[in-house]
Protein backbone atom coordinates (compact mmCIF):
# COMPACT_ATOMS: atom_id res chain seq x y z
CA UNK A 1 0.00 0.00 0.00
CA UNK A 2 0.99 3.65 -0.28
CA UNK A 3 0.67 6.06 2.64
CA UNK A 4 -2.23 7.70 0.81
CA UNK A 5 -3.99 4.32 0.43
CA UNK A 6 -3.61 3.77 4.16
CA UNK A 7 -4.88 7.26 5.01
CA UNK A 8 -7.92 6.62 2.80
CA UNK A 9 -8.75 3.57 4.95
CA UNK A 10 -9.23 5.73 8.07
CA UNK A 11 -12.89 6.78 8.36
CA UNK A 12 -14.18 9.94 10.01
CA UNK A 13 -14.48 9.55 13.77
CA UNK A 14 -11.99 6.65 13.96
CA UNK A 15 -10.10 5.88 17.17
CA UNK A 16 -6.51 5.84 15.90
CA UNK A 17 -3.52 4.61 17.92
CA UNK A 18 -0.11 5.91 16.86
CA UNK A 19 3.08 4.06 17.86
CA UNK A 20 6.47 5.47 18.75
CA UNK A 21 7.11 7.72 21.75
CA UNK A 22 7.43 11.53 21.83
CA UNK A 23 9.64 12.42 18.90
CA UNK A 24 10.91 8.83 18.40
CA UNK A 25 10.07 6.39 15.59
CA UNK A 26 6.73 8.00 14.78
CA UNK A 27 4.96 6.88 11.57
CA UNK A 28 5.21 10.41 10.23
CA UNK A 29 4.77 9.51 6.53
CA UNK A 30 1.40 7.94 7.41
CA UNK A 31 0.52 10.96 9.58
CA UNK A 32 1.42 13.33 6.73
CA UNK A 33 -0.80 11.30 4.39
CA UNK A 34 -3.63 11.47 6.93
CA UNK A 35 -3.22 15.27 7.06
CA UNK A 36 -3.73 15.37 3.27
CA UNK A 37 -6.79 13.08 3.47
CA UNK A 38 -10.38 14.16 4.16
CA UNK A 39 -10.56 12.22 7.48
CA UNK A 40 -11.83 14.23 10.44
CA UNK A 41 -13.06 14.00 14.05
CA UNK A 42 -10.35 11.53 15.00
CA UNK A 43 -9.60 10.29 18.50
CA UNK A 44 -5.81 9.98 18.67
CA UNK A 45 -4.33 7.57 21.25
CA UNK A 46 -0.56 8.01 21.62
CA UNK A 47 2.55 8.71 23.67
CA UNK A 48 2.40 11.86 21.67
CA UNK A 49 4.84 14.00 19.77
CA UNK A 50 4.68 15.76 16.41
CA UNK A 51 2.25 13.09 15.17
CA UNK A 52 -0.48 14.54 17.36
CA UNK A 53 0.81 18.07 16.72
CA UNK A 54 0.55 17.83 12.92
CA UNK A 55 -2.91 16.29 13.13
CA UNK A 56 -3.97 19.14 15.44
CA UNK A 57 -2.50 21.67 13.00
CA UNK A 58 -4.71 20.18 10.26
CA UNK A 59 -7.81 20.20 12.48
CA UNK A 60 -8.16 16.41 12.35
CA UNK A 61 -8.38 15.76 16.09
CA UNK A 62 -11.58 15.70 18.14
CA UNK A 63 -10.01 14.07 21.20
CA UNK A 64 -6.48 13.17 22.31
CA UNK A 65 -5.92 10.26 24.72
CA UNK A 66 -2.37 10.80 25.95
CA UNK A 67 -0.10 10.80 29.01
CA UNK A 68 2.02 13.60 27.48
CA UNK A 69 2.94 15.40 24.29
CA UNK A 70 6.57 16.38 23.72
CA UNK A 71 9.19 16.81 21.01
CA UNK A 72 11.82 15.50 23.51
CA UNK A 73 14.64 17.92 22.59
CA UNK A 74 12.01 20.69 22.37
CA UNK A 75 10.06 20.13 25.58
CA UNK A 76 6.57 21.21 24.51
CA UNK A 77 4.61 20.22 21.38
CA UNK A 78 3.58 23.56 19.83
CA UNK A 79 0.42 22.55 17.94
CA UNK A 80 -0.94 20.43 20.78
CA UNK A 81 -0.39 23.45 23.04
CA UNK A 82 -2.30 25.73 20.72
CA UNK A 83 -5.16 23.27 20.26
CA UNK A 84 -5.53 22.96 24.03
CA UNK A 85 -5.15 26.66 24.78
CA UNK A 86 -7.66 27.58 22.07
CA UNK A 87 -10.07 24.89 23.31
CA UNK A 88 -10.13 23.10 19.96
CA UNK A 89 -9.65 19.51 21.20
CA UNK A 90 -10.97 17.35 24.01
CA UNK A 91 -8.42 15.57 26.19
CA UNK A 92 -8.24 12.32 28.11
CA UNK A 93 -5.08 12.79 30.19
CA UNK A 94 -3.68 9.56 31.70
CA UNK A 95 -0.62 8.60 33.69
CA UNK A 96 1.87 6.72 31.45
CA UNK A 97 1.39 3.44 33.32
CA UNK A 98 -2.40 3.78 33.32
CA UNK A 99 -2.16 4.40 29.57
CA UNK A 100 0.00 1.31 28.99
CA UNK A 101 -2.39 -0.83 31.04
CA UNK A 102 -5.26 0.47 28.87
CA UNK A 103 -3.42 -0.83 25.80
CA UNK A 104 -2.51 -4.09 27.58
CA UNK A 105 -6.16 -4.60 28.53
CA UNK A 106 -7.26 -3.99 24.93
CA UNK A 107 -4.50 -6.26 23.60
CA UNK A 108 -5.81 -9.06 25.83
CA UNK A 109 -9.48 -8.20 25.13
CA UNK A 110 -10.02 -7.47 28.82
CA UNK A 111 -12.42 -4.69 29.93
CA UNK A 112 -9.84 -3.13 32.27
CA UNK A 113 -6.65 -3.72 34.24
CA UNK A 114 -6.07 -2.52 37.81
CA UNK A 115 -3.22 -0.17 38.71
CA UNK A 116 -2.39 2.34 41.44
CA UNK A 117 -1.08 4.81 38.82
CA UNK A 118 -3.44 7.78 38.78
CA UNK A 119 -4.91 7.36 42.26
CA UNK A 120 -4.97 10.48 44.45
CA UNK A 121 -3.84 12.65 41.52
CA UNK A 122 -6.00 14.95 39.37
CA UNK A 123 -6.06 12.24 36.67
CA UNK A 124 -9.08 10.96 38.60
CA UNK A 125 -10.62 14.47 38.73
CA UNK A 126 -10.28 15.34 35.03
CA UNK A 127 -11.43 11.89 33.90
CA UNK A 128 -14.66 11.47 35.89
CA UNK A 129 -15.50 8.34 33.86
CA UNK A 130 -12.52 6.53 35.46
CA UNK A 131 -13.62 4.00 38.07
CA UNK A 132 -11.76 2.19 40.81
CA UNK A 133 -11.89 -1.50 41.63
CA UNK A 134 -11.28 -3.27 44.94
CA UNK A 135 -9.14 -6.41 45.13
CA UNK A 136 -11.12 -9.43 46.38
CA UNK A 137 -7.96 -10.56 48.19
CA UNK A 138 -6.72 -9.08 51.46
CA UNK A 139 -3.10 -7.91 51.46
CA UNK A 140 -0.71 -6.38 54.01
CA UNK A 141 -2.03 -2.93 54.81
CA UNK A 142 -5.28 -3.63 52.96
CA UNK A 143 -7.32 -6.14 55.00
CA UNK A 144 -10.43 -5.26 52.99
CA UNK A 145 -8.60 -5.48 49.65
CA UNK A 146 -6.55 -2.76 47.94
CA UNK A 147 -8.45 -0.17 45.92
CA UNK A 148 -6.96 0.46 42.48
CA UNK A 149 -7.73 2.49 39.38
CA UNK A 150 -9.43 0.40 36.69
CA UNK A 151 -7.65 1.36 33.46
CA UNK A 152 -10.31 0.95 30.76
CA UNK A 153 -9.28 -0.97 27.64
CA UNK A 154 -8.04 1.39 24.92
CA UNK A 155 -9.57 -0.44 21.97
CA UNK A 156 -8.46 1.09 18.69
CA UNK A 157 -10.20 1.07 15.33
CA UNK A 158 -6.80 1.36 13.68
CA UNK A 159 -3.14 1.80 14.55
CA UNK A 160 -0.17 3.32 12.69
CA UNK A 161 3.28 1.91 13.48
CA UNK A 162 6.66 2.55 11.83
CA UNK A 163 9.49 -0.02 12.01
CA UNK A 164 12.94 -0.44 10.50
CA UNK A 165 12.18 -3.52 8.38
CA UNK A 166 9.08 -5.41 7.29
CA UNK A 167 8.18 -8.12 4.85
CA UNK A 168 5.37 -7.92 2.32
CA UNK A 169 3.07 -9.98 4.53
CA UNK A 170 3.24 -7.46 7.37
CA UNK A 171 5.79 -8.86 9.80
CA UNK A 172 7.70 -5.96 11.34
CA UNK A 173 11.18 -5.70 12.86
CA UNK A 174 12.61 -2.93 15.05
CA UNK A 175 16.39 -2.54 15.22
CA UNK A 176 16.73 0.35 17.68
CA UNK A 177 17.11 0.24 21.46
CA UNK A 178 13.42 0.49 22.38
CA UNK A 179 10.26 -1.15 21.03
CA UNK A 180 8.20 1.61 22.74
CA UNK A 181 4.60 0.29 22.98
CA UNK A 182 4.27 -0.53 19.27
CA UNK A 183 3.29 -4.20 19.60
CA UNK A 184 0.63 -3.22 22.14
CA UNK A 185 -0.83 -0.67 19.73
CA UNK A 186 -0.93 -3.36 17.03
CA UNK A 187 -2.62 -5.85 19.34
CA UNK A 188 -5.11 -3.28 20.69
CA UNK A 189 -6.26 -2.29 17.18
CA UNK A 190 -8.73 -3.90 14.82
CA UNK A 191 -6.50 -2.97 11.87
CA UNK A 192 -2.84 -2.03 12.06
CA UNK A 193 -1.04 -0.27 9.24
CA UNK A 194 2.69 -0.65 9.17
CA UNK A 195 5.24 1.57 7.48
CA UNK A 196 8.90 0.63 7.27
CA UNK A 197 12.27 1.92 6.12
CA UNK A 198 12.73 -1.05 3.84
CA UNK A 199 10.76 -4.11 2.77
CA UNK A 200 12.94 -7.23 2.93
CA UNK A 201 12.58 -10.82 1.71
CA UNK A 202 13.99 -12.21 4.96
CA UNK A 203 15.04 -10.80 8.32
CA UNK A 204 18.56 -10.44 9.73
CA UNK A 205 19.02 -10.30 13.48
CA UNK A 206 17.62 -12.18 16.46
CA UNK A 207 13.96 -13.27 16.44
CA UNK A 208 13.12 -11.09 19.45
CA UNK A 209 13.50 -8.04 17.17
CA UNK A 210 10.43 -9.27 15.24
CA UNK A 211 8.05 -7.02 17.12
CA UNK A 212 4.95 -6.98 14.92
CA UNK A 213 3.12 -10.08 13.69
CA UNK A 214 1.40 -10.10 10.29
CA UNK A 215 -1.65 -11.53 12.12
CA UNK A 216 -2.32 -8.01 13.43
CA UNK A 217 -1.41 -6.09 10.26
CA UNK A 218 -3.82 -4.99 7.54
CA UNK A 219 -1.34 -3.24 5.26
CA UNK A 220 2.31 -2.36 4.77
CA UNK A 221 3.93 0.65 3.12
CA UNK A 222 7.62 1.01 2.32
CA UNK A 223 8.45 4.61 3.35
CA UNK A 224 12.22 5.30 3.47
CA UNK A 225 12.63 8.22 5.87
CA UNK A 226 9.07 7.54 6.96
CA UNK A 227 9.71 8.50 10.60
CA UNK A 228 11.47 11.75 9.67
CA UNK A 229 11.85 14.23 11.46
CA UNK A 230 11.59 11.93 14.49
CA UNK A 231 14.35 9.40 15.21
CA UNK A 232 14.44 5.90 13.74
CA UNK A 233 17.54 4.33 15.21
CA UNK A 234 19.80 2.84 13.96
CA UNK A 235 18.76 3.99 10.48
CA UNK A 236 18.83 7.68 11.47
CA UNK A 237 18.62 9.99 14.45
CA UNK A 238 16.18 12.82 14.96
CA UNK A 239 16.56 15.71 12.49
CA UNK A 240 16.93 18.39 15.15
CA UNK A 241 17.28 21.23 12.64
CA UNK A 242 14.08 20.24 10.84
CA UNK A 243 12.23 19.75 14.14
CA UNK A 244 13.27 23.22 15.31
CA UNK A 245 11.99 24.63 12.02
CA UNK A 246 8.66 22.85 12.60
CA UNK A 247 8.39 24.21 16.16
CA UNK A 248 9.33 27.73 15.06
CA UNK A 249 6.91 27.68 12.12
CA UNK A 250 4.04 26.86 14.49
CA UNK A 251 4.47 30.32 16.04
CA UNK A 252 4.22 32.30 12.81
CA UNK A 253 1.32 32.04 10.31
CA UNK A 254 3.42 32.90 7.26
CA UNK A 255 6.18 30.48 8.21
CA UNK A 256 3.57 27.79 8.89
CA UNK A 257 1.97 28.21 5.47
CA UNK A 258 5.38 27.71 3.88
CA UNK A 259 6.21 24.76 6.13
CA UNK A 260 2.96 22.92 5.51
CA UNK A 261 3.08 23.54 1.77
CA UNK A 262 6.54 21.98 1.42
CA UNK A 263 6.47 19.48 4.30
CA UNK A 264 2.98 18.00 3.98
CA UNK A 265 0.81 19.25 1.15
CA UNK A 266 3.38 18.64 -1.61
CA UNK A 267 3.31 14.90 -1.00
CA UNK A 268 5.76 12.39 0.46
CA UNK A 269 8.25 12.31 -2.42
CA UNK A 270 8.61 16.10 -2.39
CA UNK A 271 8.90 16.01 1.41
CA UNK A 272 11.73 13.49 1.34
CA UNK A 273 13.60 15.56 -1.25
CA UNK A 274 13.17 18.60 1.00
CA UNK A 275 14.31 16.66 4.07
CA UNK A 276 17.52 15.56 2.34
CA UNK A 277 18.50 19.05 1.21
Partner 1 sequence: MTAPPTRAEVAVAACADAWRGDGEVLAAAMAPCSVLGARLARASFSPDLLTTDGAAVLTREPVPLGADGEAEGWLPFRDHLWLVLHGRRHVMLGASQMDAEGRSNISCVGDWERPTAQLLGVRGCPGNTVRNTVSYWVPRHSRRVFTPKVDMVSGVAAADAHELRRVVTDLAVMDFGGPGRTLRLVSAHPGSTVQQVRDATGFDLALPEGGAAAVAETRVPTGEELRLLREVLDPGGVRDKEVPG
Instruction: Work out which of 41, 111, 121, 234 binds partner 1, going by CB under 8 A.
Output: 121
Contact string (CB under 8 A) for partner 1, positions 17-36, x = contact: ----x---------------
CA-only gyration radius of the chain, Å: 19
List 50's β-bridge partners, or say none. Answer: none
CA dihedral (172, 173, 174, 179) positive or negative: positive
Would you say 3 or 20 has its CB closer to partner 1? 20
List 152's β-bridge partners, or say none. Answer: 112
How would DSSP label each residue in 75-115?
A: SS-HHHHHHHHTT-SEEEE--HHHHHHHHHHHHTT-SEEEE
Query: Which parts of 173-202 interact with partner 1 (CB under 8 A)?
Result: 177-181
Q: Is 96 exposed, middle or buried (0-12, 13-18, 19+ CB in 10 A)?
A: middle
- Distance of closest approach, residue 86 Cβ to partner 1, in angstroms: 8
Would you say 101 or 193 has its CB closer to partner 1? 101
| Window contacting partner 1 (CB under 8 A); options: 6-14, 97-105, 222-230, 254-262 | 97-105
Instruction: Work out which of 18, 46, 80, 227 binds partner 1, going by CB under 8 A.
Output: 80
List 198's β-bridge partners, or say none. Answer: 165
- Site for partner 1 contains 132 (CB under 8 A): no
Using CB under 8 A as the criterion, which residues of the chain lie in contact with partner 1 when the complex forms?
Answer: 21, 47, 66-70, 75-76, 80-81, 84-85, 87, 93-98, 100, 115-123, 125-126, 177-181
Amino acid sequence: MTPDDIAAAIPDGAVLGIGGWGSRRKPMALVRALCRSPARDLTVVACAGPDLGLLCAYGKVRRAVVPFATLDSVPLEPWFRRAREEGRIALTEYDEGLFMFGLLAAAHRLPFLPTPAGLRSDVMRVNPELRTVRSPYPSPGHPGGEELAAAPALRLDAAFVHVNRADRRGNGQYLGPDPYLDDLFAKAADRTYLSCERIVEGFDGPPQTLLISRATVAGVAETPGGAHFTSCEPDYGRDERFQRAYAAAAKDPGAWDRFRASAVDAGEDAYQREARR
